[in-house]
Amino acid sequence: MFAPYLTRVYPYPSFNVRDLDTLDNEVRKDLLNELALNNFTLLIGHIIGVDHAGHTFSASHSEIERKLNDSEAIVREVIEKMDSDTVLIVCGDHGMTDDGNHGGASKNELRSALFAYHKSGFPMRQNYELIDDRVKQIDIAAIISSILELPVPF
């Protein structure tokens, strides 16, 4: 959807669901390098280890927790390195079933995390607030379009 606006891409093969770490390590490196350059309007990083852990093991396996911790560490590094004008949006592209799959219409597959952060906070929120059923995955493209001052995709 935003491909015409991307000037630099770092593609990696991501079909080996048994490899939980290689892609995330490369994405982490690329994200931190791009943050250091500080010449971007939109920076996208796809961390996929949690998805691979779900497919390889299951939603309740210890590898899921390890990959969630790894993902959180990447987010913390990005927050530490980003400047005070940057808005960070972290979202999942889907949820998963208890056995680690997705693609259906169950509540667990359709739910996903959304986290937004700005170093000086957001003017309309004084504290963190859980946004549960008010923001849908489909809203994320509109949010990003608004930030980039682009038309909302249909």
Each residue's pLDDT, cut to its tens digit, for the chain (154 residues) gives 667 778 899 999 989 999 999 999 999 999 999 999 999 888 889 999 999 999 999 999 999 999 999 999 999 999 999 999 898 989 888 888 999 888 888 888 888 888 888 898 876 655 555 555 667 777 777 887 887 788 887 7
Q: Which residues pair with 122 in a beta bridge?
A: 125
Going from the C-alpha of 62 to that of each of 15, 65, 97, 106, 139, the distances in angstroms are 21, 5, 16, 23, 31
> What distance in Å separates the CA atoms of residue 71 and residue 85, rounded to the nearest whole number?
23
In the structure encoding, which two tokens stand for residue 88, read together? 């960070």
For residues 133, 82, 73 and 136, what is the CA-based torsion angle, rounded to 10 degrees? 10
- Residue whose entry in the numeric block shows the structure tokens 């170093």: 119
Residue 93 has a pLDDT of 81
CA–CA separation, 14 and 55 (whole Å): 13
Using alpha carbons, list the distances in angstroms from residue 12 to 22, 23, 26, 27, 51: 9, 7, 8, 9, 15
Q: What's residue 152's pLDDT?
A: 84
Instruction: Output the pLDDT for position 26.
Output: 97
The pTM (predicted TM-score) of the whole model is 0.84
The alpha carbon dihedral of 106, 104, 88, 141 has a sign of negative
pLDDT for the residue numbered 55: 92
What is the per-residue pLDDT for 128?
54
The per-residue pLDDT for 73 is: 98
Alpha helices in 1-153 (DSSP H): 22-37, 49-56, 62-81, 107-110, 137-147
Q: Which of 150, 151, 115 is nearest to 42 (CA)?
A: 150
Report the pLDDT value the prediction gives residue 132, as an integer from 0 to 100: 59
